[in-house]
Every structure is written in structure tokens, then in C-alpha cells.
Amino acid sequence: MNSIHDCYTLTNGIKIPCIAYGTYKAADGNSSEIIRTAIDAGYRYFDTASFYQTEEYLAEAIQDSGIAREEFFIATKLWKDEMGYEQAKEAFQRSLERLKTDYVDLYLIHWPRPDAGYADWKQLDLDTWRALEELYREGRVKAIGLSNFLPHHIENLIQHAEVMPMVNQIEFHPGYAQEATVRYCQERGILVQAWSPMGRTRVLNDPLILELAAKYQVSAAQICLRFAVQKQVIPLPKSSSLERMKQNQELFSFAISQEDMYRLETMPQTGWSGQHPDL
């Protein structure tokens, strides 16, 4: 990968840019303006979700930009209360309407279970997935996948799935690199994506990250994002400032050495959000 426009190829042949812009928490008053700034900064892959309440802002920003819909890669997700076969189809329709488009590039199940006490999550995941498979076959989504699924959740799904998930989006950053889940996915051709690739700034003051930032003459944020790139994980950084939006794309003029990658991979747990899919 040499720029944010370079792509991975999903198992079904669809190209997906190697860096996305995350729209979560861009839901303040001026968020279509922030997303518009991100478009101007060069981002074309936007990650949203029905839960984020940013789909409409994204639609507005894209419309304002005058850039054709096909130039964008749009990913969205159905929320915990939109799981189930019928519910998923209705949720998808609502997302399309908010996004003012007739297809999405990537559609994900946001979490594997509605809450810790939900006993029959296995069946619920299968019913939801069946809806996504149909949307995929109808060409209304170019690719389908998961978010926050751990190996045991994925294992249940793929035992019955007709279409394999192409993506799994998880919390991923130095200090919480979820090695078991990443390895499980990558061995099966499921592309991993990182939400909170900077641990929502919680890891930016870690001594190792600061040491490496000084060594490679980049920012702490760039160390975190480059770490994802070198793990073949798509980071979804978010920022409200044009300067940082641009900085977060400058990840291709340096490489973290193997020794330093090992150190980042094995640093003590740092900056975990506290969100576990089963808890």
C-alpha cells in the first residue's frame, strides 16, 4: 500500500481502500461540514452506522461535494435492535433512504448479540445474516460482513452461511491488538478493520508509542495507524481537524521495523474501550 487510495481485494473481488474515515461521534451540529472537510482532505471511504446517526450527514456532504457516488466507498451497519431477518431488511432500507443512495458498498452486523443476557444470539445472527446474503445476491450491497465478532461468533455463522463474511471490524490498536481474532479472520480471508485505531487517543501518550514516534519522526497517531497498515488491517481514524485528517493519511513514507512491530504487538494492554461483545 502506498496511498490511502490503494485497495485490498475482498474475497468476492471487490476493491476496498486501505484507509477509511470514521464518522462515529461526528454527530454534532456541524458534522456534515466535518465530513465535507474529510472529502476535501481526500478520503473516499466513509464508515458509518445507523447507530452513529451520521448517515444523513454523509449523504449531505457527498451531495455537496459534487463528486459522483461511485467514487465513494460507503460502509454502514445495522444496530443491535435491528437484528433478525425482517428487521435487517427494513434497517437496510432505512439506511439507504438516509444515505440517499440505492446501494451500499459494505453492510455489517454491528454487534454479535443485542446484550449479554440474550441467550439465542446464535439463531439471531443466522437470521440476520440470511437477510444480508439476500441483499448481497440482489446486488444492493457489494460486500457483507461483521463487526465486533469474535472467533466463536464467526464460527457459528460460517457453519451455516452460504456467503462467507468478507470483513470483520473490531477495536484494534497498539495495546489492544486482539491477536486471536485477527489471526482467525486473516486465515479465513476475512479482512480486519480497526475501529478506534488510536484507542480514542488513550494510547497516544504511552511511552513506547512516544519513543517510536520520536524514532521515526512522525506523530504518535501515525505510529498507531501505520501499525494497523503493516498488520493488513484497515484503520478507520476519525478527526475533526483538516490538519489531523491529512496527517492520518501520511502513513506511507516510513515503515516500522519488525523488531518494533513485535514490541507494539506485545505491549501491555492499554487503552481498551472496555467494550467486550459478550459482556
**What amino acid positions are annotated as catalytic residues?**
52
Residue 257 sits in the site that holds ligand A2P (CB under 6 A): no
Residue 198 sits in the site that holds ligand A2P (CB under 6 A): yes
- The DSSP string of 194-254 is EESTTGGGTTTT-HHHHHHHHHHTS-HHHHHHHHHHHTTEEE----S-HHHHHHTT--SS-
- Which of 62, 83, 221, 251 touches ligand A2P (CB under 6 A)? 221
CA dist 157 to 126, 132, 133, 151, Å? Answer: 6, 12, 12, 10
Q: Tell me how far, at minimum, the Cβ of 76 lies from ligand A2P, in Å.
A: 18
Q: Tell me how far, at minimum, the Cβ of 169 lies from ligand A2P, in Å.
A: 13
Residue 22 sits in the site that holds ligand A2P (CB under 6 A): yes
Find how far residue 146's CA is from the centre of its chain: 10
Find how far residue 92's CA is from the centre of its chain: 18
C-alpha cell of residue 190? 476475512
Q: What angle do CA 13, 19, 20 make, to 5 degrees?
A: 95
- Which of 248, 251, 256, 264 touches ligand A2P (CB under 6 A)? 248
Residue 188 sits in the site that holds ligand A2P (CB under 6 A): no
Residue 200 sits in the site that holds ligand A2P (CB under 6 A): yes
The smaller minimum CB distance to ligand A2P, of residues 84 and 235, is found at 235
Residues that bind ligand A2P (CB under 6 A): 22, 196-201, 204, 219, 221, 237-241, 244, 247-248
